[in-house]
Structure 1
Amino acid sequence: MPHLVILYTPDLDRPVSQGGSDMTALCRALAGTMRQQVDEVGRPVFPTGGIRVLAYPAAHHAVADDGEAQPAGGVAPDYGFAYLNLRMGRGRSAAAHQAVGQALSAVAQAHFAPLLPLRPIGVTLQIDEGPEVFDARHSSLHPLFNKPAQG
């Protein structure tokens, strides 16, 4: 953990020139931002080997009024939506939660900013923290990033 999952309307998979978004670029930018986060004493908020950012287009969706309020003779609005949910284990301070939330929100806002004037898009970021009722982990990723420094 931490895992940041993005669920979005599939219209956002279109090319940028057609009102879509580069979701891979968003995932990488968010992961980079997560790696940069430090707590009040300068320690990383998240272990690099635990960072996961995954994006999934929704197979089925309805957003807002689903185009029912379209203008007379007009084309139904093309509503887009992205829901970003960061799930992290317990133990981080409220200040770290706020700093991480603000940093991730700024990345998401900057990513979608070029589209917002062109079409209606909603973007929500939510952060959830334990308590877990069961937590099992098995990974060969963490050892890649927990090597002692060579000096």
Structure 2
Amino acid sequence: MPHLVILYSGNLDARTDMSVLCRRLADTMLAQRDEAGQPVFPPGGTRVFAYPAAHFAVSDGGAAGRAAGSNAEYGFAYLNLRMGRGRSEAVQQGVGRALMAEAKAHFEPLMVAMHLGVTLQIDVGAEVFDAKHSTLHPLFNKPD
């Protein structure tokens, strides 16, 4: 943990490289620091996944755009960051602003050609069950 999951309309695949967005968002997460200057997220636990929706309906299907004389497609990207408790409100807000800025920069060229909604939500909470088994964390937890 943390995990950032992106759900998006499948029509974006032909228009943008979601792998690039995933890498940029992961790098943005890894660059975040708390009030003491410490990393907010562990490198071995930071993950970003993106899943296209092959079947989707967005808003009115384009009726409003057609009525206004536009042929632009509709699309969406929903980003959900799930992280464990323990980070301050200021850190959570800073992470949200940084991730949204990166997402906006990535999608800005698309917004010229289509109508696109981008949502970012951050969920913080107690896990009912939380088990981990990883060979990734030891790569980054080497003694100094």
TM-score after normalising by structure 2 = 0.94
Aligned residues: 143
Matched with 1:50 is: 45
Distance in 1, matches of 2:65 and 2:89, equals 43
- Of 127, 136, 141, the residue aligned with 2:136 is 141
Matched with 1:6 is: 6
CA RMSD of aligned residues (A): 1.4
Matched with 1:36 is: 31
Q: Is 1:79 matched up with 2:74?
A: yes
Q: Unaligned 5+ residue runs, structure 2? A: none
Deviations 1:72-115 (A, max 9, x none): 6x775410100000000011000100110000000000001111
Deviation of the 1:59 alpha carbon: 2.5
1:53 is paired with a residue of what secondary structure? Answer: strand
Structure 2 contact 32–40 (Cα < 8 Å) conserved: yes
Distance in 2, matches of 1:110 and 1:53, equals 17
- Of 124, 131, 135, the residue aligned with 2:126 is 131
Closer, same or farther in 2 for the Cα pair 1:61/1:141, shift >3 Å? same
Structure 1 contact 68–76 (Cα < 8 Å) conserved: no
Deviations 1:31-64 (A, max 9, x none): 0001100000001100000000000001221001
Q: Unaligned 5+ residue runs, structure 1? A: 15-19
Structure 1 contact 5–54 (Cα < 8 Å) conserved: yes
1:115 is paired with a residue of what secondary structure? Answer: helix
Distance in 2, matches of 1:107 and 1:70, equals 27
Q: Is 1:101 matched up with 2:96?
A: yes
